[in-house]
Structure 1
């Protein structure tokens, strides 16, 4: 199913993590004392989509979570970590949180989830050929990212500058505006991102 313009896939949730995310999104809005209308205005996501996401009626896409993380000043890993127990110092591969956005073909693994007092985290991403994941703004302005391609080819756009990265290439940048991750193919791309909050 295609993603709607405001970041919802329209797919009902089946993943337990999605249900926990729905609850946490509702809690965050409550903590900020924002109405659905105010959050819609701040995020650019429709009121109805926000309501359905908070009630667990739809599975949030990477685009939708990206917009909400930007409004709430969190990285996606921080948001995901808030719906789980405090992470251990050693995170076994089998215990790493994997989140899938079926609408965009994006699979995200929290290799080293964020911890209290720590500023860096490592994320592994996989995009199928043709997948395109835009973010309107970073969750934390000035956030540092190191994007390292492990297999395949990734087009990473920062602002208006597109970088074509092949296996082994690494791009280091600070994020202030929009970004886009795209897999030009012919096969999928697997990459790691080191995120460092300012």
Structure 2
């Protein structure tokens, strides 16, 4: 994707990622060592030449100690109190088959947020670590079936079911199919 084709949110995200690295005083090499993402990929992300995958963005959020919603809220101009559905930030990771809608009005200082996630059939996303240790999550499946692994335990969550847990280590989200799964995710900071 060329510079002229970059979505506004992706351009602001790229700029924010570059500023965060500068704020921490890290070189691309140091950030690569902290995240496991190559130096060249990080450079291309910061120049908005590529969009991050969900797993990659998760690694960056972990390095910077932010949730994904906090990071995305930081690229908003002025956080509103009400966000109509058609103006909620939607981020897509076409590679992994994940669509993430920030339902809560963004604000970096809030301790809770609501996110809508959609995974296409067969989608499988793993996160090495939470962006913030002891992050509390509630996953309420609205349509379909979602398999979530956290703390070494696998959970199969069907339509209407809700799973609550604190996230300390690796996690995995998988849609066994046959259709897409749509879920609400409530995130509460410790």
Matches within 5 A, 1:1-198: 14-198=6-190
CA contact (8 A) 2:76 2:106 kept: no
**What is the CA distance between 1:114 and its match in structure 2?**
4.0
**What is the CA distance between 1:19 and its match in structure 2?**
1.3
**What is the CA distance between 1:95 and its match in structure 2?**
1.3
The DSSP-based 3-state class of the residue aligned with 2:183 is strand
The DSSP-based 3-state class of the residue aligned with 1:186 is coil
The DSSP-based 3-state class of the residue aligned with 2:103 is strand
The DSSP-based 3-state class of the residue aligned with 1:86 is coil
Please give the per-residue CA displacement for 1:121-160, whole angstroms capped at 9, x wherever unaligned: 0000000000111110000001100000000000011032
Please give the per-residue CA displacement for 1:54-84, whole angstroms capped at 9, x wherever unaligned: 1111111111100000000000001111111
The DSSP-based 3-state class of the residue aligned with 1:190 is strand
Unaligned runs of 5+ in 2: none
Unaligned runs of 5+ in 1: 1-10
Which aligned runs of 4 or more in structure 1 are off by greater than 4 angstroms?
A: none
| Alignment partners' CA distance in 2, 1:117 and 1:47 | 30
| Alignment partners' CA distance in 1, 2:158 and 2:122 | 16
RMSD: 1.3
CA contact (8 A) 1:110 1:122 kept: yes
Aligned residues: 188
